[in-house]
Amino acid sequence: MTETLQHFIGGKYVAGESGRFGDVFNPSTGEVSGKLPYATTAEVDAAVRNSQAAAEEWGKTAVPKRSAVIFKMRELMVARREQLAEVLCKEHGKTKPDALGEIQRGIDVVEFAAGVPHLIKGEFNSNIGGGIDLYSIRESLGVVAGITPFNFPVMIPLWMGAMAIACGNAYLNKPSERDPSAPNMLAEMWKEAGLPDGVWNVIHGDKEAVDALLHHPDVPAVSFVGSTPVGEYIYQEGSRHNKRVQAFCGAKNHMVIMPDADMDQAVNALVGAGYGSAGERCMAISVAVPVGKETSERLIEKLAPAVEGLKIGAWDDPDADINALITRQAKERVEGLIQRGVDEGAKLLIDGRGATLQGYENGYYVGGTLFDQVTTEMEIYKTEIFGPVLSVMAPSTYEDAVRMINDHEYGNGVAIFTRDGDAARSFTDQVDVGMIGVNVPIPVPMAFHNFGGAKRSKFGDTQMHGPESIRFFTKMKTVSSRWPSGIKDGYQLAFPTND
């Protein structure tokens, strides 16, 4: 039976009023599992107004009390992660272990946010001159919005929202239309944890809802994760309406394999980073860069059979390596790009097209795909494929590898595998990429550090979670204070100094 989903506003579910709906699918089976309402501009405005009323009180709540609610949410997530993972998997398609890993990374940020009393402290200097004390304080912004992607429907809303509410804001989540049930479940759990109604609202929709948030005068900050074209639009449109905006976008992540690398370790890393979650990660490795012909031959000798042995499967198959893609359109796009690679002259070593699964014939599956002899002019190199497709490129020298990485328009993540400390140190200095792994294939920082890329992988000046998120979700006030005993008679026309 198809379920009609709802928005979550003011601590309760609210039916959509637009009359516009989109289908939600189970990617493993290709069946419609739900109908999702798409909000109008008026509905978004109503959600913002509800959040405004809640934000005013929440911002006045004592910081330790806010922290206690966040810690309670952490306990609920630990207790219910299996249930949350199942809800996530049915709409996303990812395997259960992958979903549990995503949820744990969300829990990590909730734990970090629970330490907000320390994180939100201002600064103080006593007697900077003439009996004047100088101090700064951080205050909440009000209602902040998070526009979150399909590929991490639990983790990314928490990366944004946990930090936003820790800083005293109300958080309005506009999740992906593809897998909305897990974000709704998060809102329910926050309510149970003791978060006041309206502090965490969820509004569903398409571009109309996004534009309503970008244009709304009472939403001062917007955080986004998604594709580069959409992220660039959100950054430009939000900035045009005088908002602070951070947009984390597309990627083409390289992994350099030096001749001295442990090849078994490198292959294991490539398989996990390239094909995990069917490649639907902005931090997925999609380009293997063995340095030199001999390194390339050794890599492919071990890599090809590993890729060929990957098993596709539904989300509840404990032996599945590669899950279904999110939509039929995504499957068709990935298969089209594979054909484009063949047409442009890349050597297709393993072809994942036409993958079928008994009992799940209508699921959106593409098997592990491996290309060799890829060049920088090919579309499969330039484009973020977002599927289980790995390209191998073999520059002659280390310098050529670094130049290739720096010439690419994206700069989200990169890795180098080597035993040479000098090569690793040189690499981290030279590449223009936001997150770098040394013998670590997916260098996503822990919650207490900052996440973010470079070049066209990120728009805006701030990073996600870590200390940067405190700066993004608060505004600073600086106070100069002097009491009557330090005040002398007479006025001064010169610019004030500490004299």
Residue 82 C-beta-side C-alpha neighbours within 13 Å = 1
| Distances from the Cα of 213 to the Cα of 38, 238, 242, angstroms | 14, 9, 12
Beta-strand runs (E) in 19-149 = 21-26, 31-37, 123-129, 132-140, 143-147
**pLDDT confidence of residue 489:** 62
Spatial contact of 414 and 253, defined as CB atoms under 8 Å apart:
yes
Q: What is the pTM of this model?
A: 0.95
Q: Pairing state of beta strands 132-140 and 435-438?
A: unpaired
Give the model's pLDDT for residue 494: 77
CA distance 374 to 404: 12
**Tokens describing residue 370:** 């491996």
Q: What is the DSSP string of 282-337?
A: TT-EEEEEESSHHHHHHHHHHHHHHHHTPPB--TT-TT-SB---S-HHHHHHHHHH
pLDDT digits (tens, 9 = 90+) for 420-471: 999 999 999 999 999 999 999 999 999 999 999 999 999 999 999 999 999 9
Compute, in degrees rounded to 10, the torsion defined by CA atoms 438, 399, 373, 293.
-90
Cα–Cα distance, 280 to 98 (Å, whole number): 11
pLDDT score, position 274: 97
Report the C-alpha gap between 466 and 470 in whole angstroms. 8
Active-site residue flag, 167: no
The larger pLDDT score, comparing residue 498 to residue 452, is at 452
| Confidence class for position 328, pLDDT limits 50, 70, 90 | very high
Mean pLDDT of the 212-224 span: 98
Query: What's the rounded mean pLDDT across residues 100-111?
Result: 98
Give pLDDT tens digits for 171-210: 999 999 999 999 999 999 999 999 999 999 999 999 999 9
Find the length of the chain.
Answer: 499
Model pLDDT, residue 256: 98
Parallel/antiparallel/unpaired status of strands 369-372 and 347-350 = antiparallel
Contacts of 161 (CB under 8 A, 6+ apart): 146, 171, 173, 186, 200
Q: How confident is the model at residue 147 (pLDDT cuts 50, 70, 90)?
A: very high
Reported as a pLDDT band with limits 50, 70 and 90, residue 129 is confident
Residue pLDDT, tens place only, 230-250: 999 999 999 999 999 999 999
Q: What is the mean pLDDT of residues 153-177?
A: 98
Domains of the chain, CATH where assigned? 3-249+457-479 (3.40.605.10), 253-438 (3.40.309.10)
The mean pLDDT of the chain is 96
Please give the average per-residue pLDDT across 319-333, as a whole number.
97
Q: Give the pLDDT confidence score for residue 409 in this predicted structure.
A: 97
CA-to-CA distance for 493 and 342, rounded, in angstroms? 75
- Provide the pLDDT confidence category of residue 141 given band limits of 50, 70 and 90: very high
Q: What is the pLDDT at residue 496?
A: 72
* Residue 486 pLDDT > 60: no
Confidence of residue 131 (pLDDT cuts 50, 70, 90): confident
Percent of the chain residues topping a pLDDT of 90: 94
pLDDT greater than 70 at residue 145: yes
Of 150 and 128, the structure prediction assigns the larger pLDDT to 150
Rounded distance between C-alpha atoms, residue 466 and residue 70, angstroms: 16
* 1-53 residue pLDDT tens: 689 999 999 999 999 999 999 999 999 999 999 999 999 999 999 999 999 99
